[in-house]
Homo-oligomer: A and B are copies of this chain.
Amino acid sequence: MKARRLALLAEGRFTPLDAKTAVGMLRYRPQQVVAVVDSTSAGRTAEACVGVGGAIPVVADLEAASARGADSLMIGVAPQGGGLPEEWRRMVREAITRGWDVLSGLHVFLADDPEFAALAERHGARLIDARRPPATRPVAARRAAALDACVVLTVGSDCNVGKMTAALELVRGLEARGTRAAFVATGQTGIFITDHGVAIDAVVSDFAAGVIEQHVVDAARDADVVVVEGQGALHHPGYSGVALALLHGACPSAMVLCHVAGRERLRKPGAPPSDEDSQPEIRPLSDLVRVYESAASWVSPGTVVAVALNTHGLDDATARHAIQSAARETGLPATDPIRFGAGLLVDAIEAHRASRGGRRATVR
């Protein structure tokens, strides 16, 4: 991404669970963010609202963001269904009129909206749709299983549990130890953070696995470990197809299982927790390990080697207790990579690579 001065649009929804894209940018690209727009939290800091972003201010409108020097607007949330809420159209219109570029990860493409397109043309603004799929139509064929690089996929107990964050922290941790690691972004936030990747959920379903395979094969050219950002969950009624396409396109030899401590049911995006009693239950972590390993084995064997537990909102003692429970239940190393660092995850991947290298040598 060119150096930008971003205003992140999160109107009425600037919370850690609803504003995934905004929170991701604040955590990994804060130097590009000058303000968050949410009139319901205006006057507070990003840190106070979502736990990251330090003193970056939350402001009421684009005028206030402009006063902070903003030159681009990024849609900071990804509503289920992927459409643009009517009340936000006004703000997008205003940003374009100011000549700002607008960056979006919505399923509905801004550049395909005749009104926005005409306005952007007139004001010299660019409309950047991160979710627009590639024009290619590759069909996956287990090519990623034949790579020398170790492919790692973060998998989850639900949407929105920290699969992208675990993957990014793992890459950072591996690089800190001198391992050549690459990150494959598969969702809009990851793409905004790393400036490449593909939003798998926006790819036509026949080619979802094939597009991922291509990205993994490309990433493996310059890396010994390719860490692929997971999406959805195999037992999620809406998104299981995306999760399986990703698993069979990437052919990971190692997986990291991600979960939010205490979450017992699939979360309905945008709904308050009280609304979730009718949502499907999340299976025990040890079941999930079996489910992911079994589904991987249909195409190429893969092992869950660690658990990344999102303990956001818990105190340290409770977090430690939750992590110990997860480790005991699964028999796997477990940690919260944000709270306690990714060291344990890196250890698990390096141990997996060592054992894999050994197995390969034996097989030869």
Interface residues of A in 190-214 (CB under 8 A from B): 200-206, 208-210
Among residues of B, the one whose C-beta sits closest to the C-beta of A139 is: B238
This protein's copies in its complex = 2
The distance in angstroms between the C-alpha atoms of A251 and B235, with both chains bound, is 12
- Which B residues are in CB contact (< 8 Å) with A140? 237-238
With A209-B240, A241-B245, A299-B240 in contact, is A80–B204 under 8 Å at CB?
no
Interface residues of A in 64-122 (CB under 8 A from B): 80-83, 107
A11 to chain B, nearest CB (A): 21
Among residues of B, the one whose C-beta sits closest to the C-beta of A143 is: B237
Number of residues in A with C-beta < 8 Å to the partner? Answer: 45
A248 adjacent to chain B (CB < 8 Å) = yes
The reply to whether A202 and B206 form a contact with Cβ atoms under 8 Å apart is yes
Flag the segment in A19-27, A55-63, A222-230, A290-298 that touches B: A290-298
A178 to chain B, nearest CB (A): 33
29 pairs from A and B in contact (CB 8 Å cutoff):
A81-B139, A82-B137, A107-B137, A107-B204, A107-B206, A139-B238, A141-B238, A142-B237, A142-B280, A205-B205, A205-B208, A205-B242, A208-B241, A209-B237, A209-B239, A234-B295, A234-B298, A235-B299, A237-B249, A237-B251, A237-B300, A238-B248, A240-B299, A241-B241, A241-B242, A243-B244, A280-B299, A294-B294, A295-B295
